[in-house]
Structure 1
Amino acid sequence: MSRSPEFVVKSPAMDIVIHSLSDVGPDQRRRLCEGARGIFWDTAEVKDFSSETEREGFIYKYFSYYMEREPELFFCAFSDHQVFGYICGVADTRQHQELYRCADHIPLFDDLYGEYPAHLHINLAAESRGKGLGGRLIEALEGALRTTGEAWGLHLVTSEGARNAGFYRKNGFTHEVCRGILPEEPRMLFMGKKL
């Protein structure tokens, strides 16, 4: 059963529809996953890996895990067969202990998950940025979380000083905490929002 309504973003050139992976048939789901995976790799800051295992581990902790475990919280924005962006997440980070083992930043902010249990990852195709689509994807995920009552707060983690922090602030993520994993690495920025 669908956890969220269909969202439609109107633009002069086309209508972009937003659906969760659980709301589409198998063929369309496969196409959406392929398109979203392409956007993931286009936007990834890390592109060089020492092995295929390392490469697969990287996409798993930021993308594939969510597609497999929470398809109802994995939304794609698309028109016909083109994917323009996606957002994915979980309703309660602490219920996903596998992420604690594979993603270094997850345990770093564990003390904040009581207040902001849900988290997200979002990426847009380059030509889709600055047109309001990112905000609509966040609305879709928030709508699904509110409908089920599974979360009362949402967060994300980015790098301190990252360009995308302004976008998140504009979309209500104003509770900020910076912490470092290792002293020689850039600090991570936790950004939380009440639902």
Structure 2
Amino acid sequence: MEPVQHGEFRCTGLMQTAVDVMVSGRLSNELVVADGVARRLHSDGVLAADSSLLSVPGIGIADRIAAHPFGAARRRAELAAALASPLAESVGESYSRAAFEYLGFEQPVLQHVFSDDDGFIGRSDCWWPGQGVVGEFDGNAKYVDAALRVGITAEEAVYLEKLREDRIRCLGYGFVRWSWADVDNPDRLRGKLLAAGLRPRNPH
């Protein structure tokens, strides 16, 4: 493989580095990297929002994975590449989607836009249209990071988020929020998803 020069360092290129991670770790870590590659390719106009990394000609992901000598590692990498999406906007969303896969829930639609009679409500992190459930990963950043609050206080951010949730619930949909603590505790996350009305495709 041809090395890539980054400043004073010679490194493996983006695709090779991504495959090296995707064949060597947990799905959650692999999906973070795969989603990042998908965002990069999407911004470069190479990957459509609904396309798989495995289907893009010329980037070498599928061939590099297929060349790996160990079947279990190939399967993990193929799953991460198939699930990768440029629409995942945070590490928390990537970890959540890996948890959904582990727990046997369907993968959600990402960044779905909701509106009501008063107009635009917002984009949801996750949307399960077949089951009518909206999901939000609640990291601390949206409330404590001043740059993300765009000129409002943390208290105002919480209040506006509650109004947004209420408007979505009024459309007749279930609604579930989870945090890093839930992602780290699969049983607790499963309980929250079930309570919101989601049903797994492969119950554990």
State TM-score, norm by structure 1: 0.29
Higher RCO by CA contacts (8 Å cutoff, separation 6 or greater): 1
More helix by share: 2
State TM-score, norm by structure 2: 0.28
